[in-house]
Amino acid sequence: MSDWSLRLARREDAESFHAVEDDAASLLREEPSLTGIPVPPSTSAAEYRAMIAKGYCLTATADSEVVGFAACGPVGRELHLNEISVARSQQGKGIGAGLLEALAVDARNNGFHAITLNTYRDIPWNAPFYARHGFVEVENFEGRTHLAESLEAAVALGMPRERRCAMIRFLDQLSA
């Protein structure tokens, strides 16, 4: 039995999303291999409210407090994961994995074919984590311009292109 639960995000979660993202991003600021590489500012609560309004965001709570989230938006028949974050004090409890699996089930039930994202290729809690949950690296951006645009936006913010990658999880691979 876990001491956390998942639910569909609510408008009032937006402030907490911003705070949780900022807390989790401190791991990137402390990552030795990223010394000198800027960590983008956390998404604003207003931007999170707009994402939540679309209905594809999930919230993880513990003792009625928001401790994690997955913020997504539809791009055609794919759902793009803009951000997934778990408060540092709650990491290692399976919350991130739970958010990913719930997101996959919800996305498939809503007719999406895949979940996409952009991340660091070589940071253990980035691409290797997603790979353990069925994501594969996207080599060809044809038909997925949102991934190329997201990659270019990350590079424009100062992230090294060679360390970034796009990933996809096809939802027909979900077990019944």
Environment class of residue 36 by beta-carbon count within 10 Å: exposed (0-12), middle (13-18) or buried (19+)?
A: exposed
Residue pLDDT, tens place only, 46-91: 999 999 999 999 999 999 999 999 999 999 999 999 999 999 999 9
Q: Look up the CATH number of the domain holding residue 72.
A: 3.40.630.30
Flag whether pLDDT at 174 surpasses 60. no
Taking only the tens place, the pLDDT of each residue in 92-125 is 999 999 999 999 999 999 999 999 999 999 998 8
Sheet holding 114-120, edge to edge: 5-8, 58-62, 65-75, 78-86, 114-120, 164-170, 136-137
What pLDDT does 135 receive?
A: 96
Confidence of residue 173 (pLDDT cuts 50, 70, 90): low
Residue 38: the pLDDT is 84
22 confidence band (pLDDT: 50, 70, 90) = very high
In the chain, the percentage of residues whose pLDDT exceeds 90 is: 72
Angstrom distances, CA of residue 121 to CA of 3, 161, 166: 31, 10, 9
How far is Cα 120 from Cα 40, in angstroms, rounded to an integer? 13
pTM over 0.85: yes
Distance CA(32)–CA(35), nearest Å, equals: 5
The pLDDT score that the predictor gives to residue 176 is 44
Provide the number of structural domains found in the chain.
Answer: 1
Q: What is the mean pLDDT of residues 22-41?
A: 88
Range of the domain at 23: 5-173
Q: Do the beta carbons of residue 170 and residue 140 sit within 8 Å?
A: no
Where does the pLDDT of residue 143 fall: very low under 50, low under 70, confident under 90, or very high at 90 and above? confident
